[in-house]
Chains A and B, each alone.
Chain A
């Protein structure tokens, strides 16, 4: 983990450093370029303004039209403007001295002009023209040369600043690259080590998980020497395996129980039929064999129907309809059925009636099956002459219905197992075909489906009390 944060810090530092450096470089570059380009432009314009002055005075001398003089003045002003700008951009001593020279030369140029003009005005046209062609020309040439020099100087300054910029860029690149390389090397090696460690543990986990099959579901991924995150992963895989193992154990046991429960009637049907067909027999023998077969087929149907019902309760309970109903008449009906069932074994059924009306919400058919299963169970394990008591009483938003018997009771060892599917308590021979060990399990599933539960209290030899707890319905 610390490795990760060091990596993040180094990366952030490099990026920040590079950003600041680039920013500075950009500023320096832009400033230099702005100054130099302005100076160069002023120099070039200055030269153009100088060149544009040529010819006007000569034209005036030819036709005496004063329009030329006006135009010349215009151009002169333009020139002086650019000269002003150029002197502003002239920063180096060389530039300054050139501007000085240009100033002086231009004054001379102007005075030559003035001289020629004076001569022309006084009528000495020849002398004026001579000055124009000779002296003034020399001054112009010199001026032009100075303007050229000024341009050269500015060009060379730009060239130089470009070169220095290039040097700076290279310097900065070195400045960035070296720490960047160091950071990359550091980060890279750390990353390599970290990923190698992670990948090694991923490989361990993969090997373990890949090798897990139905027979080795109890294997676990090792959590020793793992990075925190990988440890979380390994642990959650182990938790998942734990759950898987438990579900598989349950399914394995459950399907083996189903197999066993179905094999017994199948073996009887097969055996009974085989025996019947071994030789010619009396009609009564065939009839007996068929009756046994029907009895066993019915047992299988009952097992399959119960299993389908349990699967529906467990996995597809949305299709079961619920309605609000008054519990008192429902309970009276249960009591009557209990009495009928118990009568056959001379078991006495007593019942305590509710004083106030209670409304429940649920599926009446399934709920009566729940109570029927519990009562059937009580009757089965209560010897003749025993007692069964039914009592309903409200408590804290729930209704409790208890079914107590004076029967055999349940041993401490069996108590946690009685709601398991296919759990058989000792069965007497006469009942063996009737019990398939799903009754209590179905009752519990029905209670759970109604957001309720079934609790049991019992001691071996002291009877049992099953208490059904169901939430009361508030409209």
Chain B
């Protein structure tokens, strides 16, 4: 899950980014409005965390611009202004949620998770494909009642595959949702991670879940 964090306060952006990364999210930071619009238009983010007071513009104006450009990524407004009028205005111009600073980090995580679940038919935090289970809250992965330990990136990759189970996923899609801006598209990093996942998920099982489709990408299916 890839998140764009629009925040001009360096220290604020820093801890939110670290906290989210620890929760297996992929995070890009935009320190001003110009940067934010550019990133949001170029990359297919799953969610945007938007500060209202920005040096060159306001979060409201960014939100409006994005919605006008038909970018319907979830937007969570994050601000020190907790006036009801601001909240209403934010929600009216197309934000999906609103959180006032200072906040509990757990609440931020819960709200992000809740927003991301909205898109799915199955609202449960537990993703299931065959005998493989992924719990988005606890980050636990179980196959055939045995727990599997994954690194952050491996988890993000598996989560993305499971969210799009039985669909063909291209390398570009993976790079856009699982990696952030620093990703170098010329390397074979994705293939390396897919191999690591295969070793942890499919090795020793008769039924393989991760399939390669030559020339197009990958698919996770029963």
Contact = CB atoms under 8 A, between A and B. Distances in A.
B11 A263 contact: no
Interface in A404-441: 424, 426-430, 432-433
B12 interface: yes
Given A275-B22, A429-B31, A268 B80 contact: no
B16 A271 contact: yes
Nearest to A275: B19
A251 interface: no
A29 B80 CA distance: 94
Chain B interface size band reads 20 to 34
Given A259-B80, A271-B105, A427 B55 contact: yes
Given A274-B104, A275-B105, A267 B18 contact: no
Contact of A432 (B10, B81, B101): B10
Nearest to B19: A275
B56 A271 contact: no
Nearest to B32: A429
Contacts of B31: 429
A270 B14 CA distance: 13
B102 A263 contact: yes
B18 A432 contact: no
Contact of A278 (B10, B12, B19, B53): B19
A267 B55 contact: no
B103 interface: yes
Contacts of B56: 426
Contacts of A77: none
B22 to A, nearest CB: 7
Contacts of A267: 12, 80, 101-103
Interface in B1-51: 8-12, 14-16, 18-19, 22, 31
A131 B138 CA distance: 162
Contacts of A259: 80
A183 B122 CA distance: 93
B19 A260 contact: no
A274 B105 contact: yes
A259 B86 CA distance: 15
Contacts of A432: 8-10, 55
B110 to A, nearest CB: 13
Interface in B67-111: 80-81, 83, 101-106
A451 interface: no
A272 interface: yes
Contacts of A10: none
A268 to B, nearest CB: 5
Contacts of A272: 11, 15
Interface string B136-157: 0000000000000000000000
Interface-centre pick from B12, B81, B104 (highest chain A CB count, 10 A): B12
Nearest to A272: B15
Contacts of B106: 274
Contacts of B103: 267, 270-271
B118 to A, nearest CB: 25
B9 to A, nearest CB: 6
Nearest to A262: B80
A271 B19 contact: yes
Interface-centre pick from A260, A263, A267, A427 (highest chain B CB count, 10 A): A267
Contacts of B81: 256, 260
Contacts of B9: 264, 268, 432-433
B55 A424 contact: yes
Nearest to B100: A263
A260 B16 CA distance: 18
A427 B9 CA distance: 10
A271 B80 CA distance: 13
A275 B20 CA distance: 9
A47 interface: no
Interface in A252-294: 256, 259-260, 263-264, 266-268, 270-272, 274-275, 278-279, 289, 292
Contacts of A264: 9, 12, 80, 101
A275 B102 contact: no
A296 interface: yes
A408 B17 CA distance: 32
Contact of A433 (B11, B22, B53, B83): B11
Contacts of A260: 53, 80-81
Contacts of B53: 260
A272 B19 CA distance: 9
25 contacts: A260-B53, A260-B81, A263-B101, A264-B80, A267-B80, A267-B101, A268-B12, A268-B15, A270-B102, A270-B103, A271-B105, A272-B11, A274-B19, A274-B106, A275-B18, A275-B19, A275-B22, A278-B19, A278-B22, A292-B14, A428-B55, A429-B8, A429-B10, A429-B31, A430-B10
Q: Which 10 A-B pairs have the closest CB atoms?
A: A267-B102, A267-B101, A263-B80, A274-B105, A260-B80, A275-B19, A271-B15, A272-B15, A270-B102, A268-B11
Given A260-B81, A263-B80, A432-B8, 6 more contacts: A260-B53, A263-B102, A270-B103, A275-B18, A428-B55, A433-B11
